[in-house]
Amino acid sequence: EDQVTQSPEALRLQEGESSSLNCSYTVSGLRGLFWYRQDPGKGPEFLFTLYSAGEEKEKERLKATLTKKESFLHITAPKPEDSATYLCAVQALGNEKLTFGTGTRLTIIP
């Protein structure tokens, strides 16, 4: 059974303090790993898809990386508007279903 574990559950950073969020996964053949951002009271918003180990993608202050067992979402010099819950999900080969983790709630303090 596909599993996704995200850590930490919550993270508080000062504005400008860089850090990383972790997504560990177990899947029988990875088709893709996805990162989403979710603001309170809203639906998730797609950020990245990673397909193979060693792949990296960037968007503004965010960079996602992938290994065979985990993915990291690096946030560089974060701003208060980066505060949100970040969700990780995986899709197995031959499977149309996404398995989501429970998310990391990120708070950036001005």
Partner 1 sequence: NAGVTQTPKFQVLKTGQSMTLQCAQDMNHEYMSWYRQDPGMGLRLIHYSVGAGITDQGEVPNGYNVSRSTTEDFPLRLLSAAPSQTSVYFCASSLDSNSYNEQFFGPGTRLTVL
x-or-dash pattern for partner 1, window 40-79, by CB under 8 A? -xxxxxx--x------------------------------
Of 62, 66, 87, 106, the one binding partner 1 by CB under 8 A: 87
Integer CA distances (angstroms), 40 to 12, 33, 43, 70, 84, in order: 16, 23, 8, 26, 7
CB of 49 to partner 1, least distance (A): 5
| Under 8 Å between Cβ of 23 and 101 | yes
Residues near partner 1, by CB under 8 A: 4, 32, 34, 41-46, 49, 87, 89, 91, 96-103
